[in-house]
């Protein structure tokens, strides 16, 4: 009875808030005013062109893109970075969406993320493809780089909303914790841009949700479970491989839940194939496309890799040093350091959000008795390996190329990388101390929804002031 009362269709609250706030943010955030959106736009458009593999020019990789897209990126890239007096305005936006551009002329565009698997851009890429098709058949539809960017953002937001909706709906545990995390100012800001971080946030939560659903119901694993987990595996493998270790928690589901060894092995193979098959297909295709290519960053990446591999345990000290140096930066970046890390929500509001999230999480995890010790231990292993992989990957790919070889800390790791891990960390504190305390749980829905609406209102105001209100 208690379980039924406390589920107040929070997933529907999520849809309303996410689409409303996300719709505002995607419009008031200027082009290229979010992390790496210049590269994300290139990849999303390449997806719509079915240009799934990068091309080579000299010691760089990139793709052939319409010249108008390249010019659009050049005109806005780094325009707003750390320049708080630089503003956007309605007349500029209006001309961008009302004046059509020529998409026939192509040129080569070099960019950093050109070697990423474009499965990460499936939502925005599909949206751009549909818009281009409609513009072909209906001449009154304006085809411009700005409109391409906006339609990509809209589809990214809608896809994120859909994934989180089902994650919250399916989980029997921590619905409001997931609600709060998925509506963090940073989560919503990313969802209203072309960032593929929303894919990782969404599908890590969906993986958590479906695993909880299986464990709570005590039923036999069905093929719907296998299909959902296989999709999650596909995204984790092919978007950011560092998060693959989270899948280790699946081994906490007992063999008896599969109805036999044969089905157990079959399910494992299907889930692995869901991630590995597209992963290897992409890398084989990329290897063919980049045959005999030597990237200008290869030498420094190899040197950084050797440092880690020569003493993997010592690299833990690098990670510790990074937390000491950048701990607050990670914290703010996880919750509300928006724009290109230069549009900050006032910290007092982030402290409030932190307090409410922790309180709600502790109440929710203290009202159940089905989380096993084995699940907690496997979660700890998955989380720690993921964090290690996050820092190691950043150390190899970013630190050595942009800063210095052999630093004793990691430059480039972002607070937003920790968002997909938060719900997994919270469940480690699961217990049954408040299982029959319905009065305490009644605080959760209003506190969660009220705090979220308040914080996101502040978020919209801050972003609007940052980019639109002229400096007197």
Q: φ and ψ at 252, to 5 degrees?
A: -80, -10
Residue 319 is encoded by which pair of tokens? 């990670």
**What is the value of pTM for the model shown?**
0.93
The pLDDT tens digits for 226-282 are 999 999 999 999 999 999 999 999 999 888 888 889 989 999 999 999 999 999 999
pLDDT for the residue 169 = 95
Do 334 and 415 meet the contact criterion of CB atoms below 8 Å apart? yes
The pLDDT tens digits for 105-161 are 999 999 988 999 999 999 999 999 999 999 999 989 999 999 999 999 999 999 999
Q: Hey, what long-range contacts does 188-191 have (CB within 8 A, 24 or more apart)?
A: 188/18, 188/21, 188/22, 188/25, 188/456, 188/459, 189/25, 189/29, 189/34, 189/338, 189/459, 189/463, 190/34, 190/416, 191/18, 191/22, 191/156, 191/157, 191/160, 191/161
pLDDT-based confidence at 437, cuts 50/70/90?
A: low
The pLDDT tens digits for 14-54 are 999 999 999 999 999 999 999 899 999 999 999 999 999 99
Which residues face 65 on adjacent strands?
Answer: 107
SS3 108: strand
Question: What's the CA gap between 16 and 176, in Å, rounded?
Answer: 15
Sequence-distant (6+) residues with CB within 8 A of 329 are 337, 415
pLDDT for the residue 296 = 77
């Amino acid at each position: 009875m208690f379980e039924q009362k406390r589920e107040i269709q929070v997933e529907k609250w999520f849809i309303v808030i996410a689409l409303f706030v996300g719709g505002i943010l995607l419009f008031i955030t200027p082009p290229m005013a979010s992390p790496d959106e210049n590269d994300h736009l290139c990849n999303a458009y390449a997806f719509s062109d079915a240009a799934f593999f990068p091309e080579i020019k000299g010691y760089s990789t990139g793709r052939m893109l319409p010249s108008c897209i390249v010019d659009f990126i050049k005109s806005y890239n780094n325009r707003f970075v750390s320049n708080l007096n630089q503003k956007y305005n309605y007349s500029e936006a209006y001309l961008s969406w009302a004046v059509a551009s020529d998409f026939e002329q192509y040129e080569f565009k070099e960019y950093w993320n050109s070697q990423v698997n474009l499965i990460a851009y499936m939502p925005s890429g599909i949206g751009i493809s549909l818009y281009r098709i409609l513009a072909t058949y209906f001449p009154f539809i304006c085809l411009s780089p700005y409109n391409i960017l906006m339609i990509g953002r809209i589809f990214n937001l809608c896809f994120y909303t859909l994934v989180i909706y089902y994650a919250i709906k399916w989980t029997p545990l921590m619905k409001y914790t997931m609600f709060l995390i998925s509506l963090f100012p940073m989560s919503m800001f990313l969802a209203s841009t072309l960032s593929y971080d929303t894919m990782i946030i969404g599908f890590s939560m969906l993986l958590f949700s479906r695993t909880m659903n299986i464990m709570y119901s005590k039923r036999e694993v069905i093929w719907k479970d296998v299909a959902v987990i296989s999709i999650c595996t596909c995204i984790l493998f092919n978007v950011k491989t560092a998060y693959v270790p989270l899948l280790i928690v699946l081994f906490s589901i007992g063999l008896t839940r599969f109805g036999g060894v044969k089905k157990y092995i079959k399910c494992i193979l299907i889930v692995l194939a869901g991630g590995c098959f597209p992963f290897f297909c992409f890398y084989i295709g990329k290897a063919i496309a980049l045959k005999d290519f030597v990237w200008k960053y290869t030498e420094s990446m190899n040197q950084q890799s050797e440092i880690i591999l020569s003493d993997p345990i010592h690299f833990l000290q690098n990670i510790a040093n990074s937390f000491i140096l950048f701990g607050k930066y990670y914290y703010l970046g996880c919750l509300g350091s928006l724009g290109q890390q230069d549009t900050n929500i006032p910290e007092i509001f982030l402290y409030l959000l932190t307090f409410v999230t922790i309180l709600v999480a502790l109440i929710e995890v203290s009202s159940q008795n089905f989380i096993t010790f084995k699940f907690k231990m496997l979660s700890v292993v998955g989380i720690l390996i993921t964090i290690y992989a996050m820092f190691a990957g950043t150390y190899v790919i970013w630190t050595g190329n942009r800063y210095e070889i052999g630093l004793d800390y990691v430059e480039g790791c972002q607070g937003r990388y920790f968002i997909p891990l938060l719900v997994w960390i919270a469940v480690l504190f699961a217990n049954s101390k408040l299982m029959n305390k319905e009065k305490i749980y009644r605080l959760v829905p209003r506190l969660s929804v009220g705090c979220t609406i308040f914080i996101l209102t502040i978020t919209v105001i801050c972003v609007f002031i940052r980019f639109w209100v002229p400096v007197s």
